[in-house]
Amino acid sequence: MVTKEEIRAMRNASPFVPFVIHTSKGEAVRVREPGLILAASTAPRVIVQERSGRLHFINVGLITSLEKEPAAPSQTSH
Protein backbone atom coordinates (compact mmCIF):
# COMPACT_ATOMS: atom_id res chain seq x y z
CA MET A 1 0.00 0.00 0.00
CA VAL A 2 1.26 3.46 -0.90
CA THR A 3 1.19 6.15 1.77
CA LYS A 4 0.58 9.87 1.43
CA GLU A 5 4.11 10.40 2.70
CA GLU A 6 5.45 8.47 -0.31
CA ILE A 7 3.26 10.54 -2.65
CA ARG A 8 4.43 13.78 -1.05
CA ALA A 9 8.05 12.64 -1.33
CA MET A 10 7.61 12.08 -5.08
CA ARG A 11 5.86 15.46 -5.44
CA ASN A 12 8.53 17.31 -3.45
CA ALA A 13 11.55 15.64 -5.06
CA SER A 14 14.19 18.03 -6.34
CA PRO A 15 14.49 17.88 -9.21
CA PHE A 16 10.90 16.80 -9.76
CA VAL A 17 10.47 13.66 -11.85
CA PRO A 18 7.03 13.07 -13.43
CA PHE A 19 5.38 9.91 -12.13
CA VAL A 20 2.38 7.66 -12.63
CA ILE A 21 -0.09 6.63 -9.94
CA HIS A 22 -1.39 3.07 -10.48
CA THR A 23 -4.63 1.97 -8.82
CA SER A 24 -6.23 -1.38 -8.06
CA LYS A 25 -8.91 -0.46 -10.62
CA GLY A 26 -6.27 -0.56 -13.36
CA GLU A 27 -6.08 3.20 -13.76
CA ALA A 28 -2.82 4.98 -14.48
CA VAL A 29 -2.84 8.70 -13.70
CA ARG A 30 0.19 10.77 -14.73
CA VAL A 31 1.51 13.54 -12.52
CA ARG A 32 3.47 15.77 -14.89
CA GLU A 33 4.12 18.73 -12.57
CA PRO A 34 4.35 18.97 -8.76
CA GLY A 35 1.75 21.74 -8.66
CA LEU A 36 -0.87 19.47 -10.21
CA ILE A 37 -1.27 17.09 -7.26
CA LEU A 38 -2.80 17.75 -3.85
CA ALA A 39 -2.22 15.25 -1.03
CA ALA A 40 -3.61 16.89 2.12
CA SER A 41 -2.86 15.02 5.33
CA THR A 42 -6.49 15.11 6.51
CA ALA A 43 -8.20 13.80 3.36
CA PRO A 44 -8.40 10.09 2.40
CA ARG A 45 -7.70 10.88 -1.24
CA VAL A 46 -5.33 12.72 -3.53
CA ILE A 47 -6.39 15.04 -6.30
CA VAL A 48 -4.51 15.16 -9.59
CA GLN A 49 -5.22 17.81 -12.20
CA GLU A 50 -4.42 17.22 -15.84
CA ARG A 51 -3.15 20.14 -17.91
CA SER A 52 -6.56 20.16 -19.61
CA GLY A 53 -8.17 20.93 -16.24
CA ARG A 54 -9.70 17.48 -15.72
CA LEU A 55 -9.52 16.35 -12.08
CA HIS A 56 -8.89 12.84 -10.75
CA PHE A 57 -9.99 12.11 -7.18
CA ILE A 58 -8.09 9.00 -6.09
CA ASN A 59 -8.70 7.14 -2.84
CA VAL A 60 -5.27 6.53 -1.29
CA GLY A 61 -6.35 3.01 -0.27
CA LEU A 62 -6.71 2.10 -3.96
CA ILE A 63 -3.21 3.21 -4.95
CA THR A 64 -1.07 0.14 -5.61
CA SER A 65 2.15 1.76 -6.80
CA LEU A 66 3.97 4.89 -7.90
CA GLU A 67 6.20 4.71 -10.96
CA LYS A 68 8.72 7.34 -12.01
CA GLU A 69 8.45 8.13 -15.69
CA PRO A 70 11.62 7.37 -17.63
CA ALA A 71 13.82 10.35 -18.32
CA ALA A 72 13.62 11.76 -21.80
CA PRO A 73 16.65 10.92 -23.95
CA SER A 74 19.24 13.64 -23.59
CA GLN A 75 20.04 15.77 -26.59
CA THR A 76 23.79 15.56 -27.04
CA SER A 77 25.69 17.05 -29.92
CA HIS A 78 28.54 15.16 -31.56
Please indicate whether residue 41 or residue 6 has the higher confidence score (pLDDT): 6
> pLDDT tens for residues 13-67?
999 999 999 999 999 999 999 999 999 888 899 999 999 999 999 999 999 999 9
pLDDT above 80 for 73:
no
Contacts of 75 (CB under 8 A, 6+ apart): none
Bridge partners, residue 59, by sequence: 45
pTM score: 0.85
74 domain residue, yes or no: no
Work out how many domains the chain is built from and give that number. Answer: 1
As a whole number of angstroms, the distance between CA 42 and CA 18 comes to 24
Query: By residue range, what is the domain housing residue 50?
Result: 4-68
The CATH number given to whatever domain includes residue 16 is 2.30.30.100
Question: What pLDDT sits at residue 29?
Answer: 97
Q: In the chain, which residue ranges form alpha helices assigned H by DSSP? A: 4-12
Strands 37-38 and 45-49: antiparallel
